Amino acid sequence: MTMIKYRKALNNALREEMARDPLVFLMGEGIGEKGGSYKVTENLFHEFGADRVIDTPISEASFVGMAGGAAIAGTRPVVEILFIDFMYLVMDQIANQIAKFNFMTGDQGSVPFVLRTQGGLGNGLAGQHSQSLEALFYHIPGLQVIMPATPYDAKGLLKSAVRSDKPVIFIEHKQLYLTEGNVPDEEFTIPIGEADIKREGSDVTLVTYSFMTLESLRAAEQLAREGIDVEVIDLRTLVPMDMECILSSVRKTGRLVVVHEAVKRGGIGGDIIANVAEAAFYDLESPVKRIAGKNTTIPFNIDLEKLCVPSVDEIIEGVREVYNS
Amino acid sequence: MEALFLMEMYEKALTIRLFEKAAIAQYRIGKIYGYLHPYLGEEGIAVGAISALRLDDYIVSTHRGHGHAIAKGHDISLMMAELMGKATGYCKGRGGSMHVANLKQNNLGANGIVGGGIPIAAGAGMAIKQKKTDQVVMGFFSDGAVNNGVFHESMNLAAIYALPVIYILENNHYAAATPYQNTNKQDDLSVYANGYGMPGITVDGNDAVGVYQEALKAVTRAREGQGPTLIECKTYRHQGHHVNDPGAYMPQDEMAAWKAKDPVDILRDYLESTATITTDQIAAIDQRVEALMEQAVRFANESPAPSAEQFLSEIPQY
């Protein structure tokens, strides 16, 4: 076990998968000699060469489509989109081509394609560099969507993503890159589609993912002192979603809170709650709650920015409300 | 050119011609539905260009993709079944006319998005480089696609990475109902290649042998690691954009002039005049193709529909 940063865990995952399989290669802006804007691809250029760590022009739509074509034609590309906000530029290739290729060809060809990107706010990067857009990809059949919260999850899931024969949208968070956690030194992977109970509890089920997992765990710690025992479920994978984990927990606690940074309206919190209401309505003992991003573009001013997404205090209040109702 | 090779080209061109006619006939009686974009009149391009490929080379196609598929050697029975949405079709009835693909023969698929296949073709080129084989990719697209951002981006990517891609621009003069001269300030669209630092050339798309010769040069260049080429093939549809488009915007005299240069006739004439082939031998080809066509239509009509139960069972709940 070694304590390493989230970005280092990703770096190691890429290194190991590239060493293991010569068909794995990387594409992205500034990922080569520069080592990537968030340093996730640091040194890979020197270890694996320019042929396998490819710097692209600022042509997102076409280089993502190119990665899709490369996957269809038998290689395993891992393409980076610097900010999830830029994913709007690649939507046809992702939604109409990559997500649908295997289905529309009647299972003729797998698309072992991984797109890595990052989202979320922090640091006052303003409206076009701070979004949480997982709901867009959640809604497209044919994609797997993964959002790891810890270095351990990041490494294990990125390795699984690279080995998967189905396309993956792998969403990191800019505030997670420097967080640290224990990661095994020996080879390991984490199955796609398995949630992780980060904190067991008996009073309230709190479902969350990505950076909000950390905030939720902080909230749970404080709530424990008030005698409220929160079970924090970190989804890790959004599609396919581990509903069984959520339903088991709700049957146990009877109370449900969903926390995500993304805008509440149309966010996946609504879908999770609808699924629970359909499958386990009579197991609920109180109204449910979403603690989520406000329905706004993120402003530049850093204090206003903070108001846009759930804070630890907001999560605590929300859980208390559900517990006491 | 070898007689056998020419005969094969002619047979492929005729197969495309008769397949499209059969597909239209089946459409008119309701056996095929949705969108059908016939390749009638454009046979010279698919046959000429794809004849320059090896079997293990890739093609990426367009919404008007039956011609490319047939030129690549696909089974017309399985194609017709796919057009009818049957379980026996290449794509198990899940793709239809606009998404016919056959990965075993390296056809990465027709595409319902104009320009959608252009980056995919570049991607196949990148895969070839990664795998270090000497395969090449032929990416087909239309004059309509030339105005799309991904065309320009992909040309640039192909050039900077020296990808083994031959981009075939099928200029049939109309993007749906819009003449290409209204949306480009160039008459020869191959000049776009200059902006991206790659060779570009315009040829007569109705002369399959001419297309073949130019394509072969580009294929050889790509295979030898010298990068991409853009070949604009000028041609003309014999009908509107899709089966229900009467093509009112296509002037009659323009249509007549192009029909006088029918690519199938040109190939047949070339065959008769240059190769030692008798009219009987050509008639034999005609008969064989007609028989295969009847067989294909029968096979498709008699094929079962895909199982609804099977389809629903594959859909995840969450």
Q: What is the pLDDT of residues B60-106, one digit of tens each?
A: 999 999 999 999 999 999 999 999 999 999 999 999 999 999 999 99
User: Distance between CA atoms of A106 and B102, rounded to whole angstroms?
Assistant: 10
- DSSP code, position A153: H
Task: For B177-204, write each residue's pLDDT tens digit.
Answer: 999 999 999 999 999 999 999 999 999 9
What does the pLDDT read at residue B184?
97
pLDDT, average across residues A125-141: 98
Pair B101, B95: CB distance under 8 Å: yes
pLDDT on residue B113: 96
Measured between CA atoms, the residue of chain B closest to residue A106 is B91
User: Closest Cα of chain B to A16: distance in Å?
Assistant: 18
Please indicate whether, in this complex, the C-beta atoms of B122 and A107 are within 8 angstroms of each other.
no
Distance, in angstroms, between B120 CA and closest chain A CA? 4
Residue of A108, A115, A166 to mutate for B, most B C-beta atoms under 10 A: A108
Helix extents (H) in chain A: 6-20, 44-48, 60-72, 91, 101-104, 134-138, 151-163, 211-225, 243-253, 268-280, 302-307, 312-324
**Residue B1 confidence class, pLDDT cut points 50, 70, 90:** confident
Q: What is the pLDDT of residue B278?
A: 86
> B126 touching A, CB under 8 A?
yes
Residue B127 forms contact with A (CB below 8 Å): yes
Tell me the two tokens of residue B190: 């191959």
Superfamily of chain region A2-183: Thiamin diphosphate (ThDP)-binding fold, Pyr/PP domains (3.40.50.970)
CB A192 within 8 A of CB B316: no
Mark out the alpha helices in chain B (DSSP H runs): 3-28, 43-50, 66-71, 76-83, 117-131, 149-160, 180-183, 192-195, 208-223, 252-259, 263-274, 279-302, 308-313
Phi and psi at residue A154, to the nearest 5°? -60, -45
Fill in the amino acid letter for A243.
Answer: M
**Which pLDDT tens digit goes with each residue over B232-270?**
999 999 999 999 999 999 999 999 999 999 999 999 999
A145-166 per-position pLDDT tens digit: 999 999 999 999 999 999 999 9
What confidence score (pLDDT) does residue A138 get?
A: 98
Contact B229, B218 (CB under 8 A): yes
- The amino acid that residue B56 corresponds to is D
Assign domain A196-324 one CATH number from 3.40.190.10, 3.40.50.920, 3.40.1020.10, 3.40.50.300. 3.40.50.920
What does the domain layout of chain B look like in residue ranges?
3-313
Is residue B22 within 8 A of residue B80, CB to CB? The reply is yes
Domain ranges in chain A are 2-183, 196-324
Residue among A18, A63, A66 with most chain B CBs within 10 A, to mutate: A66
| DSSP-based three-state secondary structure for A270 | helix
pLDDT at residue number B25: 98
Same fold, A2-183 and A196-324: yes
Q: Are B61 and B117 in contact (CB under 8 A)?
A: yes
Separation between Cα atoms, residue A144 and residue A136, nearest integer Å = 12
Whether A69 has a pLDDT exceeding 80, the answer reads yes
* d(CA B248, nearest CA chain A) in Å: 31
* Interface test with chain B among A27, A104, A268, by most B beta carbons within 10 Å: A104
What per-residue confidence (pLDDT) applies to B117?
Answer: 97
A277 close contact with B: CB closer than 8 A = no
Residue type for A86, please?
A: F
Q: Count contacts between A and B (CB, < 8 Å).
A: 143
ipTM greater than cut 0.85: yes
Location of structure tokens 């008969």: B287
Collect all residues of chain A within an 8 Å Cβ-Cβ radius of residue B149.
61-62
pLDDT value of residue A255: 98
Q: At the topology level of CATH, where does B3-313 sit?
A: Rossmann fold (3.40.50)
Q: What is the pLDDT of residue A47?
A: 98
Do B143 and B171 contact (CB within 8 A), yes or no? yes
For residue B275, pLDDT beyond 80: no
pLDDT by residue (tens digit) across A20-67?
A: 999 999 999 999 999 999 999 999 999 999 999 999 999 999 999 999
Could you tell me where the DSSP H helices lie in A21-131?
A: 44-48, 60-72, 91, 101-104
Based on C-alpha coordinates, what's the Rg of chain B? Answer: 19
pLDDT higher than threshold 80 for residue B276:
no
Surface-to-core class of residue A300, CB atoms within 10 Å of its CB (0-12 exposed, 13-18 middle, 19+ buried): exposed
Is A260 known to be catalytic?
Answer: no
d(C-alpha A48, C-alpha A53), whole Å: 7
User: Which of A129, A139, A173, A260 is the catalytic position?
Assistant: A129
DSSP, res A42:
T
Across the interface, of A64, A73, A97, the residue whose CB is closest to B116 is: A97
Average pLDDT over residues A286-308: 97
Average pLDDT over every residue of A102-108? 97
Query: Are residues A240 and B103, on separate chains, in Cβ contact within 8 Å?
Result: no
pLDDT digits (tens, 9 = 90+) for B127-167: 999 999 999 999 999 999 999 999 999 999 999 999 999 99
- pLDDT-based confidence at B274, cuts 50/70/90? confident
Distance CA B109, CA B126 (A): 17
The whole-number average pLDDT for the span A256-262 is 98
Q: Which tokens hold the place of B288?
A: 């064989």
Average pLDDT along chain A: 98
Backbone phi, psi, residue B65, to 5°:
-100, 0
Asked if B232 and B200 count as a contact pair (C-beta separation under 8 A), the reply is: yes
Which 8-state DSSP code applies to residue A92? Answer: I
pLDDT band, residue A215 (cuts 50/70/90): very high
Q: Determine the pLDDT at residue A246.
A: 98
Interval A71-92 mean pLDDT: 98
Q: What is the DSSP string of A306-322?
A: HHTS--HHHHHHHHHHH
**Of all residues in chain A, what percent carry a pLDDT higher than 70?**
100
Q: Give pLDDT, residue B264.
A: 98
Mean pLDDT across the stretch A97-106?
A: 98
Which pTM was predicted? 0.97
Q: 3-class SS at A132?
A: coil
pLDDT-derived band at B279, boundaries 50, 70, 90: confident
Q: What whole-number distance in Å separates Cα of residue B120 and Cα of residue B109?
A: 10
Q: How many CA atoms lie within 13 A of A124 on its CB side?
A: 5
The Cα–Cα gap between B142 and B66 comes to: 14
Q: Do B123 and A68 touch (CB under 8 A)?
A: yes
User: Is B52 touching A (CB cutoff 8 A)?
Assistant: no
* Ramachandran bin of A134, using left for φ above 0, alpha for ψ from -120 to 50, beta for the remaining angles: alpha
